[in-house]
Amino acid sequence: MLTDALGPEDARVAESMHVLATLYTKVGRYASAEGLLDSALALRKKSAQGNDKLVADMLSSMAALYRERGMAPRAEALCDRALTMHEELVGASSPEVARSLHLLASLHRDRGDYAAARFMCERALAIRERAAAHEAADLAESLDLLGRLYLDAGDHAGAEPVLKRALGIHEQALGAAHPEFATTLSDLAELYRQRGEPARAEQLARRALAIRVRSLGPAHPAVASSSGQLGGLYRDRGNFVRAEQLTRRALEVRRSSLGPEHPAVAASLDDYAGLYHDWGDYPRAERLYQQAVEIKERVLGAEHLSVATSLGHMARLQRDQGDYRSAERLQQRAMTIQARTLGQRHPELASTIDDLAQLYMDQGEYPRAEELYRRAMSIREETFGGDHPDVATSLTNLARLSWKRGDAALVEPLLERALTIKIRALGPEHSSVPMSLRYLAQVYDRRGDGVRAELTYRQALSLQEKLLGAWHPSVVPLLYDLSGMYLARGDVARALDAQARGATVRDRHAALLLAAGSEAKKRAYMAMLARETSETISLHMKHAAEDRNAARLALTTILRRKGSVLDAMADSLAALRGRLGPEDRRVLDELASVQSELSTLTLRGPGSAPIDQHRAALTALEQRRQTLEADISRRSAEFRAQAPLVTIEDVVAALPDATALVEIAMYEPYDPRTATWEAPRYAAYVLRGDGGVLSTDLGEASTIDARVKALRRALALPSLDPRPPARALDARLMEPLRALLGGARSVLVSADGALNLVPFGALVDERGSYLVESFTFTYLTSGRDLLRYRGARPAIGSKALVIADPDFGSAAVPSGERGESSGPSATNRRAADIGSVLFRPLHATVMEGRTVARTLGEARLLIGPDATEESLKAASRPHVLHLATHGFFLSGERRAWEAADDGGLAREGPPRSGAVSVENPLLRSGIALAGANLRAGEGEDGVLTALEAAGLDLQGTRLVVLSACETGVGETSSGEGVYGLRRALVIAGAETLVMSLWKIDDEATRELMTAYYAELQADRGRSDAMRAVQLSMLASGRRAHPYYWASFIVAGNATSALGRPDLPRPAVPPLPPWYCGCSAPGAAASSPGSWAILALALGLARAAARRSWDRRRRGRRRVAAAALAALLALAGCSPAITCNVTRTTSVLRPPSQAGQVTISSIRIPEEAAVQLGVVWAQSEERTSIEELMQELVKSTAAIGGNFVKIDHISTQFTVGTDDVTVFIRKNKENVQTEITQILGRVYWVSEAAP
């Protein structure tokens, strides 16, 4: 309307638009203000050639608008232009110049340049002082800014009179209901907060909030500032509910009015994060802190002072979670920014120095901590004087350091002075008071003043619970201190009560934290709890060994904490895969890609790249991996039910019948009377089906670990006698436990430390027998695992996947011979050390793979060049996963590409230069697949590390068999099991693992695996099946050394039968007598040559049998039967149906003299190829079957043409019975037929038989 009346180019139109834009800026309508200012500037520049006072005023207003919107660089540039124009147009002492100077001072303060800010503020103040009579409000505005600058410098004495003067001027010039008056009230409230006067601060902050809401409306950014300030005051006083409401309100208002990328939004995020940090919700706090840092870095730059503030907050959070490395890195970065911006003597820098000192103290670096503590205290005393709350903080920190260093005489006076200052400055219920009381109580307790100590502890606990609640983690140290005090007095009941409360609070909080963050974060936090766990076990083992409640508390704590990080990682992936959406799939795919790239880069080494560049690339990938892990935890947490804390009763209910659980835990004994820790020991708890908890202390960990090492050395070499070290370890380990098992013969072992690498069945008891002869052992990470197996399980996966005999990709590597019976050769081991090496082929794995695939029925078999890393990663939830290949684990002392030996490998060249250490044990463990010898180019490298294996989708996979060397070995971690393939596959979702604990013999492993799957097919439990095979090998003589049978252990849900996948099966109708597939409907007529081939084959078998019977004579009872079964007609037989040849029974009756069947090369047409079934049963020498099988395979090597070789034999027989079964598998089908359908009865014969 104004443009209609005056015309669009009238100067008054631009001026009116400028006034309206200024109003919009004040009420937070920034978009409208910017549009008006743009139009007004364009109009004014057009009419006044862009060089008049109104243009300069508009530029100044636009700069103020950009500052409000967080666009500091643009604001400062415009303000500089406006200042120059004002000085030229109206003079250096004009109010317009003062306004530009004031705005520039505010911008310099925003970026932490306090010296420049104060210089400009004082210039503006001098101009405004001269014009005070006319521009009182402007004078108050400059005074207000100067007061804030005094506060920034920690000069409270200088700030108070300046702010009070500003308040008086505002009230007189604008009234007590004006928003500018509220601004000064807020500044005074901040002064009183910093000075330790919370009541006065809260009163002023409330008043400021009320004024701003009335004058500006509830959605104005200034209202958000007041809400945030008041929320911070409530947070200081422990009123977290009210603090959360106000902080959330401030964040919402700022986001809606300023946009999501404004620095004020980042400040609210910082406040919100700090609230959750204090509340103990560390995962939420970390996410909010990270968001704040990212916004500040984008908007303000990475070196802005505000960024340093957020970094300091994040560092404290990392320290509280036990991630000291990340905390130190963040603190150092924050200190660098602050020192450069504020100078070396600023109180804000002192706070960061103080935090870094505490970090060093927590890690036992006392000299470094003391130096920093004293530096921070010097700055604070210089800035604030001797009676400031920040000085009290320094006094408390120095007292705690003296306590830890044993300087008890210095502690009490420091603590009492600090507490006096805090109570006087902050009040008796300030959030910092409980911890000061706690430290004093410790002093009283140590000097024997029990009454005063208990009173002070109780006072501290009561106040902490009042401020933060009874379930806040900060009450836990107080409860443990009380427990120790009672225990030192001999009051076990009260000690137990306090410690049980503390442990429950801690475990509830741990459950919250384990639901978020990366694995490294989870591990760091649980490591912080190790000594609390030791205290609980010590209470029972050392001070209340006969107390039932003490035993139950210790076992409960172990059950809740042991393996908790592994559970959290596995549950996160399982939950995410259970509800997989497009974004979830993207995150999982990216994690798999990063893990693969990290593995490849680590194992390949730096090559020709500079070592620093290689390290930087590894660091970047590791950081990205941890970020993705944290994202997965966050995504899955909201979809996982928050399970209640585990109880002993839960685990008892899940125990199988006639089974005992043995929980072993390493702990450090603690003496509360002297506050000293002793050398680590092993404790064992036995839980039986009746709910009883029995226990024993096994002894010092170092002694037991030494015996473990001696036993493992003897087990790994069949030339050594393992019985003496096996008996020595049993005497310390299982002998004390056997009396506690209560007749149970199935034992679930949850080991700890080095005991994770012990096959308990290979221990020797007092009678000289191996324990496998008396017990079935199954291995768990924690007894808590039983609850997962009892609960809802994923559906059984797809058909089995068998990977064997990979083509490693180099024909130059010679194949190795089979190991001799006296010991395995290096070339016959399924082991590897990754480096400049080549993998040798493993001949027995192809037979093993085919046998396993046939036994499982519905199975996908990948061998040779098809046994690729890509195929394995693409597999989705196979029912069974069997891997027969080379495995490796590299110890931490070795570099990832430098081998210690070349078992199973050939050296390719000299070690690579420039290698870097690999800390992650999941990168030092893995298996070799097709192409592993090439390891070149992009994509998969043929080596699947444990880190990559953790990304496999094995939800619903009932069994994973790692038929390779050292697949159960890794880096042991107290309380968290073994870091290697063992851990990775649990994270991937596998229910049961079969793994090896040392380098294994190729041929013996094939025998073991073949027999193991046969036992599984008979519906034995997964551990019972392994025990049956081990007992058979133990009794064999040739494989009696535990090197051959004890390496493989079964871990996980191993007591139940395997089950079968829910897959469609082909219908095979029963065959009537004399039926031939050639007569099936639709089948082509059989060729005359079919019967000729059949007759020829049977004739060969009979002739072979007759010849071989002459070789073995008196004193040996043998039965031999050779079956060339179901040879189908060449062209006309249906490939799905087996011919019935019952008439051939008579030709299989051997002559009167028993002997060995020798079968020479036989060719079977590919179109109708069948596996040859051979039974060789005898009552004396079981090795004859093995010899026969080997001879058969060697004699049918490569025959080419349209024929296939006979490459495997599968037998089942029972000595002393009349029925013998041979399984026959057709070449590309999955049909199994018993020999009784084909050959009828096979008779036992001896020399005396007709």
Q: Which residue ranges make up each domain of the chain?
A: 648-787, 795-1052, 1077-1238
- Beta strand extents in 948-1086 (DSSP E only): 959-963, 971-973, 977-979, 992-996, 1048-1052
Query: Lowest mean pLDDT: which of 85-99, 580-594, 1052-1066, 1077-1091?
Result: 1077-1091
Is residue 1160 over pLDDT 50? no
- pLDDT of residue 699 exceeding 50, the answer is yes
- Pairing outcome for strands 659-667 and 746-750: parallel
The CATH architecture that domain 648-787 belongs to is 2-Layer Sandwich (3.30)
Measure the CA–CA gap between 60 and 1211, rounded to whole angstroms. Answer: 94
Separation of alpha carbons 896 and 615, rounded Å: 14
Q: Is 1034 in contact with 1040 (CB distance < 8 Å)? A: yes
CA distance 440 to 674: 17
pLDDT, tens only, 80-117? 999 999 888 888 889 899 999 999 999 888 776 778 89
Summarised one tens digit per residue, pLDDT across range 559-577 is 999 988 887 777 777 766 6
What's the distance, Cα to Cα, between the start and end of the chain in Å? Answer: 127
Burial call 723-745: b when 16+ CB within 10 Å, e when fewer: eebbbbbbebbbebbbebbeebe
Instruction: Tell me the backbone φ, ψ of residue 362, rounded to 5 degrees.
Output: -60, -25
Which residues touch 1053 (CB under 8 Å, ≥6 apart)? Answer: 785, 789, 958, 991, 992, 1022
Q: Cα angle at 253 between 255 and 140, to 5 degrees? A: 110
Average pLDDT in the 218-241 region? 86
As a whole number, mean pLDDT of residues 215-241 equals 87
Q: Greater confidence, 1141 or 1043?
A: 1043
Residue 1028 structure tokens: 């049956």
Q: What integer pLDDT is reported at residue 48 of this predicted model?
A: 58
CB neighbours of residue 151 within 10 Å: 22
Strand partners, 1119: 1177
Q: What proportion of the chain, given as a percentage, has pLDDT over 70?
A: 75
Q: In which band, very low, low, confident or very high, does the pLDDT at 700 lie, cut at 50, 70 and 90?
A: very high
pLDDT of 201 strictly over 60: yes
What's the CA gap between 944 and 573, in Å, rounded? 19
Yes or no: say if 215 and 197 are a contact pair by the CB < 8 Å rule: no
Q: Is the dihedral of CA 818, 824, 826, 831 positive or negative?
A: positive
Residue 896 and residue 603 in contact, taking contact as beta carbons nearer than 8 Å: yes
Please count the CA atoms within 13 angstroms of the CA of 912 that sit on its side-chain side.
22
The 10 Å Cβ neighbour count of residue 1069 is 8
Instruction: Point out which residues pair with 994 in neighbouring strands.
Output: 961, 1050
Among residues of the chain, what percentage have pLDDT more than 90? Answer: 41
Per-residue pLDDT tens digits for 1097-1154: 444 444 443 333 333 333 332 333 333 333 322 223 333 222 222 222 222 333 333 3
Burial 931-954 (b: 16+ CB within 10 A, else e): bbbebeeeebbbbbbbbbbbbbbb
Q: Compute the distance between CA of residue 376 and CA of residue 353 in angstroms, rounded to an integer.
A: 6
- Residue 806: helix, strand or coil by DSSP? strand
How many other C-beta atoms can be found within 10 angstroms of the C-beta atom of residue 401? 22
**Residue 9 pLDDT:** 57
Which residues are 82's β-sheet partners?
A: none
Cα separation, 784 vs 561, in Å, equals 9
Average pLDDT over residues 31-42: 85
**pLDDT of 43 over the 90 cut:** no
pLDDT score at 1196: 37
The token duo for 108 is 């310099």
Q: Which of 398-407, 694-703, 1133-1142, 1206-1215 has the lowest mean pLDDT?
A: 1133-1142
Single-letter code of the amino acid located at 1123: A
pLDDT value, residue 578: 65
> Residue 843 has what pLDDT?
80
Crossing angle of helices 347-362/305-320, nearest 10°? Answer: 20
Report the DSSP pairing between strands 1221-1222 and 676-677: unpaired
Confidence of residue 810 (pLDDT cuts 50, 70, 90): low
CA neighbor of 178 nearest in space, from 147, 212, 134: 212
Q: pLDDT tens-digit profile of 497-513?
A: 999 999 999 998 888 77
Q: What is the 3-state secondary structure (H, E, C) of 1064-1104?
A: CCCCCCCCCCCCCHHHCCCCCCCCHHHHHHHHHHHHHHHHH
pLDDT of residue 331: 95
In the predicted model, is pLDDT for residue 1162 greater than 60? no
Name which CATH class applies to 795-1052: alpha beta
Tokens of residue 65, six digits: 């608008």
1166-1223 residue pLDDT tens = 333 333 333 333 223 333 444 444 444 443 333 333 333 333 333 333 333 333 333 3
CA distance 1051 to 1041: 22
* Angular region, 235: left φ>0, alpha ψ -120 to 50, beta rest: alpha
pLDDT for 793 equals 59
Task: Name the region of 217 (left: φ>0; alpha: ψ -120 to 50; beta: rest).
Answer: left
User: Each residue of 636-671: pLDDT tens digit?
Assistant: 665 444 567 899 999 999 999 899 999 999 999 999
pLDDT band at 1072 (very low <50, low <70, confident <90, very high): very low
What is the Cα–Cα distance from 630 to 572, expressed in whole angstroms?
10
3-state secondary structure of 205: helix
pLDDT higher than 50, residue 815: no
Structural contact between residues 17 and 40, judged by C-beta atoms closer than 8 angstroms: yes
Contact 975, 525 (CB under 8 A): no
* pLDDT greater than 80 at residue 306: yes
Which pair of tokens denotes residue 131? 């014009």
498: region left, alpha or beta (phi > 0 left; psi from -120 to 50 alpha): alpha
344-367 confidence digits (pLDDT tens): 888 889 999 999 999 999 999 999
The residue among 347, 346, 345, 314 whose CA lies nearest residue 332 is 314
**pLDDT at residue 133, as a whole number:** 59
Of the listed ranges 18-27, 206-215, 889-898, the one predicted with least confidence: 889-898
Per residue in 121-159, pLDDT (tens digit) is 999 999 998 876 567 888 999 999 999 998 877 687 899
Q: Is the pLDDT of residue 1063 over 70?
A: no
Please list the residues that pair with 779 across neighbouring strands.
749, 1051
Cβ within 8 Å of residue 147, ≥6 positions away = 159, 160, 162, 163, 166, 184, 187, 191
Residue 936 main-chain phi, psi, to 5 deg: -140, 160
Per the prediction, the chain carries an average pLDDT of 77
